[in-house]
Every structure is written in C-alpha cells, then in structure tokens.
Amino acid sequence: MNFMNFVKQKKFFGLWVLMFMFLFSIYISTYAQAPAPAGGTAVSTNTAAPGTAPIEVTVKKKETSMTLYQLWVVGGLCMYPIGLCSIGAVGLIIYGFIITNTSKMFNTDVIQQLQASMRDVNLEDAKNVCAANPGVLTNVFAAGLSRIADGTLDVESMEKAMEESSVEEAASSIKPIGYISIIAQSAPMWGLLGTVSGMIKAFQKIGLGGMGDPEKLAADIGEAMITTAFGLIVAIPAMFFYFFLKSKFNSNMSKMARVLGNLTHELTLSVRRDAAVSSNPAEE
C-alpha cells in the first residue's frame, strides 16, 4: 500500500495536519525565544608602551532572546487582528470537520430506514424519518417527497425538487468553509499593513538622523518583519484546510446524489410493482 492510498483511507488526515502546523508554530516560537550564544568580542588595541603585550578589551554582547509575548508587543497593533484571524480560523476549521463528517452526513441507519419506507411505499414514514434526522441528505429527500401529491408519483418533478433543494443546502452548508478562505486572504493583508507601518516609522527615524544608531530602528524593522511572518503562519494552514474541506464537502455532495438516486429508483420500482399486482391479482 503506497503513501497516498494510506492517506485516503484516513478519515482524520486533516487533524494530523492541524497538529503538525500547531507543533510547527510552537517550534517557531521556541526558536524565537532561544538566547543568543554567550560570549564576548575580543578587541586588541596596541595602546600599551612599545615592546609590551597589547591590551585586550572584551566587549560583552547583548542577549537578543525574545519571548512570544515580546514578539507580540513588537508586532504592534496589527497583531491583534491577526490573532483574531487565527482564532476564527481554528474555530471554522473544527466546525468544517463537523459538517463534512461523512459518517454523520450518511447515517447508515437513516438510509436503511428510508430504503425500507420506499420498498413499502410508505411516504409518511419516510417524511417522519427525515424530520427526526435533520441534515443535508434528509432535507433534500424531504423536499422531493413533498412533490408527491395524492399518491401520484412524478419522478421528474421529484428529482427537480431535490435538485433545487440540494443547491440551497450546499450553499448554506459550505458558507462557513468559505469564511476560512476570507481569513486566509485577509491575514497576510494585515501582516502587510504592519510591514508598511513599521517601514514608515523606520524611514521617519532615518530622516531624523537615526541612521547612525541601529537600535532606534530595530523595533520598527521588527514590527515590519514579525507581522508579515505571523500573517503567513495563519494564512498558509488556513488556505490548505479551506481547499481540503471544500474538496471533502463536494465529494460528500456527489455521494449524496447517488444515494438520493438509489432511493428514488427504489420508490419507482415499488410503485410499479404495486401497480402490477393491483392490475393482475393472484388467483386463489
């Protein structure tokens, strides 16, 4: 079994990827918190008297370790919308996995109950099953059953009703997944805004004569870089999960169309069977 077949058979592959991205973000924050190597810089100056050893002056380097909170502070105001985007993306991704859960969308017990109702041409029982188990599949099938009036089966009208209802259900169900795409596109924009803001502040200080003092520019340049990095950290996994969940949802909708077709076919055969039995009663 190759790797791709192994992945396709895993229902929770997306959760593993989410865990990987979470661990990756922890690694990035840990790397940012790692202290700079200690030590000093030895500078030799020959200020002693001639013939004597030069005096060595050791300048101790300043440690540049930063915690995640310090990175957040340096990032400035743009870090707040980026943080909200990350929270919203996680919530929508979890909700997306819930609504695209194949086992929940295609409840085997519900499908078997509907098939039994179609074999018995018991439309009221089928409507009760759909009402007791609300979902995309049952809502669409209930819309098709509503077109059957006075016991007259109009397959074309029933299929048309299910087609219209499926479009409506798909549009409402995939809307939360679409919000993930909005977050994936807006997070880098907030990071870019922080980059522009930091560079503007840096150039202002350069104009005021701060070119000779790099420490005055460090905070502004840090704001420019950190916001871009955090915006991409939010956007990259959000964009991945958007396409993953969208593909999974479309796949489930295709399976739903096949299940609805089987139920309609079962009902048509049962109606024809009952009609044949009524027209040709068995002789005792």
* CA–CA distance, 61 with 75 (Å, rounded to integer): 24
According to the model, what pLDDT value does residue 4 have?
A: 43
Q: Which two tokens stand for residue 254?
A: 């295709």
Q: What percentage of the chain carries pLDDT values higher than 90?
A: 14
The structural domains of the chain, with segments of one domain joined by +, span: 75-279
According to the model, what pLDDT value does residue 66 have?
A: 63
Selected residue with higher pLDDT from 156 and 249: 249
Q: Is 213 exposed, middle or buried (0-12, 13-18, 19+ CB in 10 A)?
A: exposed
Per the rule left: phi > 0, alpha: psi between -120 and 50, beta: everything else, 242 is: alpha
pLDDT reading at 281 higher than 70: no
Q: What is the tens place of the pLDDT at every residue in 176-190?
A: 899 999 999 999 998
Per-position DSSP letters for 48-113, written without gaps between them:
S-TTSPPEEEEEEPPP----HHHHHHHH-TTHHHHHHHHHHHHHHHHHHHHHT-HHHHT-HHHHHH
pLDDT reading at 79 higher than 70: yes
According to the model, what pLDDT value does residue 199 have?
A: 78
* CA–CA distance, 27 with 24 (Å, rounded to integer): 5
Selected residue with higher pLDDT from 272 and 187: 187
* CA–CA distance, 180 with 229 (Å, rounded to integer): 19
According to the model, what pLDDT value does residue 220 have?
A: 62
| DSSP E strand stretches across the chain | 40-45, 55-60
Per the rule left: phi > 0, alpha: psi between -120 and 50, beta: everything else, 39 is: left
The per-residue pLDDT of the chain, averaged, comes to 74
* CA–CA distance, 274 with 271 (Å, rounded to integer): 5
Query: Which residues partner with 56 through β-bridges?
Result: 44
Selected residue with higher pLDDT from 236 and 200: 236
Q: What is the tens place of the pLDDT at every residue in 211-250?
A: 555 666 665 676 667 888 888 999 999 999 999 999 999 8
DSSP type of residue 208? T
Closest CA to 61 of 32, 31, 33, 41: 41
